[in-house]
Structure 1
Amino acid sequence: MPFHSGLAFLARLARVLRRDIDAVCNAIDLPWSNGQVEGQINRLKTIKRAMYGRAGPERLKARMMPIKLADLHTK
């Protein structure tokens, strides 16, 4: 592996960070995170993938809702 390939990688990383400098600064400075939102989106997509073609919309909706809300809709 040539030595310059590591430098090319770092140069590319620096270009990307410079292009997104506002987002990088906000990630460092601000206390907020979208990790919780991303986790919920990932959870919902996983459920949809697992149930694709196996259940109707009502079952899919019940599976995606939090347990307490799902109980209210089944009564």
Structure 2
Amino acid sequence: RRSGVAAVTTFAAGLQQDGAAVKAALTSTWSSGQTEGQVGKLKMLKRQTFGRSSFDLLRRRVLLAV
């Protein structure tokens, strides 16, 4: 908070305000990593086909990627 850099100060204030959520995220045994990975893969496939193909091709690529 005392860095003098506006972005860092704002980030630190947000962490302090959400202290309970930050602590829970760092100490919890639960993880959403697998879900986030699948969402990232889907977004990548979507970006690759954007404007070039139909929904049917995107659907086929998603099903083949699984």
Structure 1 length normalisation: TM-score? 0.65
In the alignment, structure 1 segments of 5+ residues that lack a partner are 1-5, 69-75
Matched residue, 1:14 = 12
C-alpha distance in 2, partners of 1:19/1:32? 22
Aligned Cα root-mean-square deviation (Å): 2.2
Q: Could you tell me the percent identity over the aligned residues?
A: 33
Q: How many residues align?
A: 63
> Which residues of 2 match residues 1-75 of structure 1 at below 5 A?
7-9=3-5, 11-66=9-64
C-alpha distance in 2, partners of 1:46/1:59? 14
**The structure with more radius of gyration:** 1
C-alpha distance in 2, partners of 1:66/1:26? 36
Q: Detail structure 1 runs of 4+ shifted over 4 Å in the superposition.
A: none
Structure 2 length normalisation: TM-score? 0.72
